[in-house]
Amino acid sequence: MSTSSYAHPEVLVETSWLADHLQEPNTRIVESNEDILLYDTGHIPGAVHIDWRADLQDQLVRDYITPDKFAALCGRNGITPATTCIFYGDKSNWWSCYALWAFRLFGHTKVKVLNGGRDKWIKEGRAITREKPSIQPATYPVPAKRLDAEIRAFYEEALAFSKSGKPLIDVRSPGEFKGTITHMPEYPQEGVLRGGHIPGAKGVPWKLAVNEDGSFKSVTELKKIYEEDCSLSPEKETVVYCRIGERSSHTWFALTYLLGHKKVRNYDGSWTEWGNKVGAPIERSS
């Protein structure tokens, strides 16, 4: 499928291209999965593993790591601000998009996604290895700040969007959106006390954006889903959310990079915050 009609086609890397460019200069392949054990069972040659929970999140406060810890993480993985990071992983790239979004949170601009992710690469019979790459440590300057105000939304902002009728996109499964279940199908209950969705939000499951092989749908199909059916505008603000921000990072990527929407923010507190917060308004649908 041609990606030339996307707003930023350069952010998608096809498996065929990557197979021929595993030693591309100033590039680091980054695997990030929901299943943190997958990397050790076999990964793309040269890829490093970044654990979305252990590496990118604070281990005490529910928040992301500080800028100095991000700089240290990049440095030990041989990443500098000039390094292009190609992210891939399981679950049709949920978690790799989450890692990419976190890198953008710290201002790292040179980011790409392997279209179709880990599953597509393996199904095509491409090379995998258990050998971990030998990485030359690099120096990454400490970012001046996280871009919390630019690409991240917090509870109060999501609430304001709800009250004012601004675009809120809930990318969870239909059952989660309706409130009939409080977790993803086939997943354990994760401690959310109330089911439903943020009042005024539209339910647009993340999976609508991808094909059967996990690759992204065409720009025409994406525009139909988000701009025609949901009335989203490239120039207007949109807040996306899910359970902890991983599925909504996937939708954030599609809206921001493939459709060129300029003001998309990810509410990473998502339903595990909203569904447990005292006094948070909840809507349910049949």
pLDDT at residue 1 is higher than 80: no
| CATH number, domain containing residue 121 | 3.40.250.10
What is the reported pLDDT for 192?
Answer: 82
| Pairing of the two strands 12-13 and 111-114 | parallel
Q: How many helices (H) does the chain have, and how many strands (E)?
A: 11, 10
**Terminal Cα distance for the chain, rounded:** 37
Mean pLDDT score, 90-102? 95
Task: Encode pLDDT of 237-269 as tens digits.
Answer: 999 999 999 999 999 999 999 999 999 999 999
- Are 85 and 162 within one domain? no
242 within 8 A of 270, measured Cβ to Cβ: yes
Look at residue 274 and tell me whether its pLDDT is greater than 60: yes
- Give 10-61 pLDDT, tens digit per residue: 999 999 999 999 999 999 999 999 998 999 999 999 999 999 889 999 999 9
Instruction: State the residue range of the domain holding 160.
Output: 152-274
Query: Domain ends where: 88, 114, 146?
Result: 146
114 shares a domain with 30: yes
* 286 located within any domain: no
- Taking Cα atoms as reference points, which of 102, 12, 117, 11 lies closest to residue 51? 102
**Candidates 74, 85, 97, 242; catalytic one:** 242
Is residue 4 scored above 80 in pLDDT? Answer: no
Is 242 known to be catalytic? Answer: yes
Question: Do residues 65 and 56 lie in contact, with contact meaning Cβ atoms separated by under 8 Å?
Answer: yes
Q: In whole angstroms, give the CA distance from residue 180 to residue 189.
A: 13
Between CA 148 and CA 139 the distance in angstroms is 24
Mean pLDDT of the chain: 95
